[in-house]
Structures are given as structure tokens and as C-alpha cells.
Amino acid sequence: LRLHELGWGSKRLSKEFGCARNTVRRYLREGGVAPFKRPARRSAFDGLDDWLRERFFRHDGNADVIRQELASEHGIIIGLRSVELRVRQWRRELKAQKRATVRFETAPGHQMQIDFGDTKVWIGDERVRIHLFVGTLGYSRRMHARASLRERQADWFAGMEGAFLRFGGVPAEVLIDNAKALVEHHDPVTREVRFNARLHAFARYWGFTPRACAPYRARTKGKDERGVGYVKKNAIAGRRFESWAEFEAHLDRWT
């Protein structure tokens, strides 16, 4: 710039400094060193930031599931690494959310959380897949467990009735997962819930209010999530039973 002020032209300057004449002209035009500017390029993710963010938190940061849904919903075939790089801006926020989870406590008699889990149990000489209903009272963590061979609507109702009889009463509300047998629709944005008509009738008969967990947020009913795992690992793991009746009797004694 000093030499230019003394009358040197761009051609002479380019020879003196060993650079292209256009580079000299750009420096003169900018009034100094011109930093590199990355050219704007179109991306497969253009216009999808809101969608990507929603799916990132819905799937607990699983980039591979997002990659699959990009292909199925938007027709975008792209590598996993590209998706990981695009969503990494939200990983710190997701980690902070997990660490900031607040324990939600309820008064005695207010809430029971229910859920199903499945595992395999030796009944005689056969390893049978069983479905395990677990109901947990929110205040005392008192638990009721019931095993079945299926996970139908009738099995959900039988599990709740068994819990009411064991506890000697009915809680004000029952917090359930978004099982298709009980919840017909639950909008993750508006939180509008539409329960199954038979569940409404069942709830009116027993006198409780059904509540549904936020979609894709299993820790909303973490007391019962842990309860299901506890029954699997403590009451069942490593044991064999001669018959289904013996298995049910053991589960009843353990509870």
C-alpha cells in the first residue's frame, strides 16, 4: 500500500512480491490484507435446520436414525459423518438437558407409573419370552409386578387392577407410556393426547385420571423405568422355574 502511494502500479507490485496481479488489485481495493472467504455452497440440509433439531432431540442425539429418516422422508441419501457434523452444534445442549433433569415427586396417593418390559425366562425346558407389567407408586416407590405372555390392552388393564387390589386403593392419576393399546394419538409439539375409548371407560370405573408421558421422553416416568429393570435383574435373572404357576408364585413372593 505504501509503494502504491509512491506511484507503483499493480503490474510492478505483482513482480516485486511474486503474486498475481489480481491479488495485488484485491489488496489495494480492500485497503490491506483480505482474509479468505469461503464461497457459499448449497447443502443437502438447506431449509431443514428446524426439522433436524427436532429429530436430534427426539432421537436422543442418534445421528444414524436421523440419516435414515432423511432418506425415507426427504429422499436425501447422505453419509452418516455428514449428519454427525451438521447436528454436533446441539450436542452440548442435549448433554446439559440430561444433566439438568429435575426429580419430580408426588404426594402420597397421587400418582402411579406403569410400564411393560420384556425378557426371557426358563419355564421347564423352554426359554419363554414374557411381558412384565410393573406399576410403581410415585411417593413410596411401592411396586406391583405381573407377568403375561402378551402385551395386549387386556394385559394393561389386568396389571392396573392387580396393582389397585395389592395396594388397597386407587391413585388419583396413572402415568402411562404412549403404548398403542392405550394412546391413539399424542402430538409431540402441542401435547394434545387422545386416549383409547376403552381406557377412558376403565379410568371412569376405577376413578383415576390417565396421564401420558411426553413423547420420546421416557425419563418422565423414570421411577417405573428403573422398576422394570430391577424386576428383570433381581427377581428373574439367573432363575429357572418348573411351571408358569411356580414362576407367578415366585414373582408374587418377591414383590
Instruction: Give the model confidence (pLDDT) of 43-52 as tens digits.
Output: 888 889 999 9
Give me the amino acid identity at 15.
K
CB 131 within 8 A of CB 149: yes
Confidence of residue 144 (pLDDT cuts 50, 70, 90): very high
**Phi-psi category of residue 70: left, alpha or beta, with phi > 0 → left and psi -120 to 50 → alpha:** alpha
In the prediction, which pLDDT does 170 show?
A: 95
Chain center to CA of 87: 16
Chain center to CA of 185: 17
In the prediction, which pLDDT does 95 show?
A: 85
222 has a pLDDT exceeding 80: no
Across 61-82, average pLDDT: 91
- Residue ranges of the domains in the chain? 1-37, 49-99, 111-254
Looking at every residue in the chain, the average pLDDT score rounds to 87
pLDDT digits (tens, 9 = 90+) for 16-37: 999 999 989 988 988 877 677 7
pLDDT digits (tens, 9 = 90+) for 223-234: 556 778 888 888
In the prediction, which pLDDT does 189 show?
A: 66
102 has a pLDDT exceeding 60: no
Q: Taking Cα atoms as reference points, which of 29, 22, 255 lies closest to residue 145?
A: 255
The predicted model scores a pTM of 0.56
In the prediction, which pLDDT does 217 show?
A: 52
In the prediction, which pLDDT does 187 show?
A: 74
105 has a pLDDT exceeding 80: no
Q: How many residues are there in the chain?
A: 255
Distance between terminal CA atoms of the chain?
A: 86
253 has a pLDDT exceeding 80: yes
The answer as to CATH 3.30.420.10 being correct for domain 111-254 is: yes
Across 1-19, average pLDDT: 92
- Under DSSP, the state recorded for 214 is P
Rounded to 10 degrees, the C-alpha dihedral 225/170/211/180 comes to 70
129 has a pLDDT exceeding 80: yes
In the prediction, which pLDDT does 35 show?
A: 73
**Phi-psi category of residue 121: left, alpha or beta, with phi > 0 → left and psi -120 to 50 → alpha:** beta
In the prediction, which pLDDT does 235 show?
A: 83
Only one residue has cell 407408586, namely: 137
- If one compares 215 and 25, the residue with the highest pLDDT of the two is 25
Chain center to CA of 217: 5
In the prediction, which pLDDT does 207 show?
A: 95
Confidence of residue 167 (pLDDT cuts 50, 70, 90): very high
Confidence of residue 70 (pLDDT cuts 50, 70, 90): very high
Confidence of residue 101 (pLDDT cuts 50, 70, 90): low
Only one residue has cell 427426539, namely: 58
What DSSP string describes 22-91? HHHHHHHHHTS-----PPP---TTTT-HHHHHHHHHHTTT-HHHHHHHHHHHH-----HHHHHHHHGGGH
The percentage of residues in the chain with a pLDDT greater than 90, rounded to a whole number, is 52
